[in-house]
Amino acid sequence: MKVTLKEWNAIATWHWDIPEDEVCGICRVQFDGTCPTCKFPGDDCSLLLGKCGHSFHMHCLLTWIQQESSKGLCPMCRQKFEWKQTEESEEA
Amino acid sequence: MSSHRIRRIGKEIADIRADTHSQISIEPFGEQDDVTHLRGSFPGPPGTPYEGGSYAVDVKIPTDYPFTPPVMKFETKVWHPNISSQTGAICLDTLSSAWSPVLTVKSALLSLQQLLSTPEPKDPQDAEVAKMMMRQPAEFARVARQWAVRYAGAPPKPDEDSQDVSAGQEPTEEDNLARYNGYNKDLVDRFGGMGFEVEQVVDAFERAGVNRNGGDDYDLGPGLMGDITARLLGE
**ipTM tops the 0.85 cut:** no
The pLDDT assigned to B175 comes to 62
Determine the Cα–Cα distance for residues B29 and B105; give it in Å rounded to an integer: 14
Nearest residue to B183 (alpha-carbon basis) of B154, B211, B152: B211
Contact B38, B59 (CB under 8 A): yes
Checking phi first, is residue B30 left (phi over 0); if not, alpha (psi -120 to 50) or beta?
alpha
The answer to whether the CB atoms of A26 and B97 lie below 8 A apart is no
pLDDT per residue, tens digit, chain B (235 aa), is 456 788 899 999 999 999 988 899 999 998 888 899 999 999 999 999 999 999 999 999 999 999 999 999 999 999 999 999 999 999 999 999 999 999 999 999 999 999 999 999 999 999 999 999 999 999 999 999 999 999 999 998 755 544 444 344 455 666 677 778 788 888 888 877 777 788 888 888 888 888 888 788 888 888 888 888 888 877 6
Is residue B101 within 8 A of residue B61, CB to CB? The reply is no
Looking at residue A46, its amino acid is: S
Evaluate whether B35 touches B6 at the Cβ level (below 8 Å).
Answer: yes
Quickly count helices (H) and strands (E) in chain A.
2, 2
pLDDT at A92 over 50: no
For residue A3, the distance in angstroms to the closest alpha carbon of chain B comes to: 50
Q: Answer yes or no: B91 catalytic.
A: yes
Centroid of chain to Cα B61: 22
Residues of B in contact with A26 (CB under 8 A): 66, 101-102
Taking the Cβ of residue B63 and every Cβ of chain A, the question of whether any pair is shorter than 8 Å is answered with no
The whole-angstrom distance between residue B201's C-alpha and the CA centroid of its chain comes to: 24
Alpha carbon distance B139, B170 (integer Å)? 12
What was the pLDDT predicted at B166?
Answer: 39
The contacts of residue A11 (CB under 8 Å, 6+ apart) are none
pLDDT for B171 = 52
Are B100 and A75 an interchain contact pair (Cβ–Cβ within 8 Å)? yes
| Residue numbers in A near B93 (CB within 8 A) | none
Work out whether the CA dihedral A49, A50, A52, A54 comes out positive or negative.
Answer: negative
- pLDDT attached to residue B48: 95
Digit-coded pLDDT (tens) for A41-75? 888 899 999 999 899 999 999 999 999 989 999 99
User: What b/e sequence results for B146-167 when a residue is b if at least 16 CB atoms lie within 10 Å of its CB, and e otherwise?
Assistant: bbbbebbebeeeeebeeeeeee
- The whole-model pTM stands at 0.70
Question: Contact A69/B102, CB-based, under 8 Å?
Answer: no
Question: Which residue, A28, A35, A18, is CA-closest to A91?
Answer: A18
Task: Please name the residues in contact with B170: beta carbons below 8 A apart, sequence gap of 6 or more.
Answer: B146, B164
pLDDT at A54: 93
Evaluate whether B50 touches B148 at the Cβ level (below 8 Å). yes
How far apart, in whole angstroms, are the C-alpha atoms of residue A75 and residue B98? 10
Rounded CA gap, B73 and B89, in Å? Answer: 5
Q: Specify the higher pLDDT residue, A91 or B216.
A: B216
Mutation for testing the B interface, residue in A55, A63, A74, A78 having most B CBs under 10 Å: A63
Gap between the Cα atoms of B93 and B65, Å rounded:
17
Rg (chain A; Cα; Å): 18
Contact B67/A64, CB-based, under 8 Å? yes
Enclosing H/E stretch for B10: helix B2-18
Alpha carbon distance B222, B62 (integer Å): 47
